[in-house]
Amino acid sequence: MSTPVPDLKPHVPPLPPGSEACGCCDGLAAETPQGLSNRAGLSAIRYRIGDYAQFRASLQAALSSSDFAPLANLRTRDDDDFSIGLIDAFACSADVLTFYQERLANESFLRTATERVSLQELGKLVGYRLRPGVAAETWLAFALDTPPAPPASLAPEPGNFVTGVPAALSLDTGLKVQSVPGPNETPQTFETVESLPDARPAWNAMRPWMSEVRTPVRNDTLTYLAGVRNNLKSGDALLMLGNEFVNNANRNNWDFRVIDSVELQVDADRTLVRWKRGLGSIVPPMTPAAQSPQVHVLRKRAAGFGHNAPMWGSLPIEFRDNYPAGKGATEWPGFALWPLALPAGTAMVDLDAVYAEVHNGSYVVLAKGGFNYASEPAPANTYVELYAVSNVAEVARAEFALAGRLTRLQLRGDSFETQFRQQLRATVAFVQSEALAFAPYPVDDAVAGALIPVAATADGLLPGRRLIVRGTRAADGAVVAVQATLVAAHALDAVRCTLEIAPPLADALVRSSVVVHANVALASHGESVSQILGSGDAGTAFQRFELKQLPLTWRAAANDLGAAPELTVRIGDIAWTAQSTLYGAASDARAYALATDEQGRNFVVFGDGVSGARLPSRPNNVRAAYRKGLGVDGNVASDKLTQLMSRPLGLKSVSNPIAAEGGTDPEAADAARDSIPLTTRTLGRAVSVLDYEDFARAFSGIAKAQAQVLQLRAGPVVALAIAGPEGAALDAASPVWNNLLAALKASGDPHVAVRLLACRQSTFRLGLKVKRDPAWDIGTVLAAVEAALRAHYAFDVRALAQPVQQSEVIAVAQAVPGVVAVDITRLYGGTQPASQTLPSVQVRLLASTLRVAGGVALPAELLTLDTAPFDQLEEMT
CB half-sphere exposure, 405, CA atoms < 13 A: 6
**Spatial contact of 753 and 855, defined as CB atoms under 8 Å apart:** no
Q: Would you state the pLDDT for residue 146? A: 87
Separation CA 607–CA 540 (nearest Å): 9
Q: Is the peptide bond before 324 cis (omega within 30 degrees of 0)?
A: no
Separation CA 179–CA 644 (nearest Å): 9
The full DSSP string for 527-540 is EEEEEEEEEE-TTS
pLDDT digits (tens, 9 = 90+) for 666-687: 888 777 887 788 777 777 788 8
Res 400 pLDDT > 70: yes
Q: Would you state the pLDDT for residue 8? A: 41
Banded pLDDT at 200 (limits 50, 70, 90)? very high
Banded pLDDT at 835 (limits 50, 70, 90)? confident
Banded pLDDT at 80 (limits 50, 70, 90)? confident
CATH superfamily of the 684-758 domain: ANL, C-terminal domain (3.30.300.30)
**Spatial contact of 437 and 297, defined as CB atoms under 8 Å apart:** no
Average pLDDT of 421-431? Answer: 93
Residue 868 burial (C-beta neighbours within 10 Å; 0-12, 13-18, 19+)? exposed
Q: What is the DSSP letter of 719?
A: E
Res 6 pLDDT > 60: no
Q: Would you state the pLDDT for residue 676? A: 81
Separation CA 571–CA 614 (nearest Å): 11
Q: Would you state the pLDDT for residue 678? A: 77
**Spatial contact of 617 and 537, defined as CB atoms under 8 Å apart:** yes
Res 613 pLDDT > 80: yes
Q: Backbone phi, then psi, for 51, in 5-degree steps? A: -120, -175
Separation CA 435–CA 363 (nearest Å): 10
Separation CA 559–CA 129 (nearest Å): 13
**Spatial contact of 529 and 626, defined as CB atoms under 8 Å apart:** yes
C-alpha torsion 530→534→538→541, nearest 10:
-90
Q: Is the peptide bond before 839 cis (omega within 30 degrees of 0)?
A: no
Element spanning 813, H or E? helix 806-814
**Spatial contact of 178 and 188, defined as CB atoms under 8 Å apart:** yes
Res 644 pLDDT > 80: yes
**Distances in Å between the alpha carbon of 55 and those of 25, 51, 62, 76, 222?**
22, 6, 11, 18, 101
Separation CA 123–CA 131 (nearest Å): 11
Separation CA 372–CA 490 (nearest Å): 44
Q: Would you state the pLDDT for residue 15? A: 57
- Which residues on neighbouring strands pair with residue 790, listed in sequence order? none
Res 25 pLDDT > 70: no
Q: Would you state the pLDDT for residue 4? A: 45
Q: Would you state the pLDDT for residue 153? A: 67
End-to-end CA distance of the chain: 68
Give alpha helix (H) positions in 64-150. 82-107, 116-125
Q: Would you state the pLDDT for residue 26? A: 52
Which residues are within 8 A (CB) of 703 and not within 5 positions of it... i.e. 6 or more apart? 671, 723, 724, 725, 726, 727, 728, 795, 796
Which residues are within 8 A (CB) of 167 and not within 5 positions of it... i.e. 6 or more apart? 147, 200, 201
Q: Would you state the pLDDT for residue 1? A: 38
Lowest model confidence (mean pLDDT) among 145-154, 190-199, 603-612, 747-756? 145-154
Average pLDDT of 141-151? Answer: 84
Positive or negative, the Cα torsion across 277, 278, 279, 282? negative
Banded pLDDT at 586 (limits 50, 70, 90)? very high
pLDDT digits (tens, 9 = 90+) for 701-730: 888 999 999 988 888 999 999 998 888 878
Separation CA 465–CA 449 (nearest Å): 18
**Distances in Å between the alpha carbon of 481 and those of 204, 506, 507, 515, 523?**
15, 11, 11, 9, 16
pLDDT digits (tens, 9 = 90+) for 271-313: 999 999 999 988 778 889 989 999 999 999 999 999 999 999 8
**Higher confidence at residue 683 or residue 175?**
175
**Higher confidence at residue 166 or residue 503?**
503
Res 407 pLDDT > 70: yes
Neighbours of 408 (CB within 10 A): 16
Amino acid of residue 72: A
Q: What is the DSSP letter of 828?
A: E
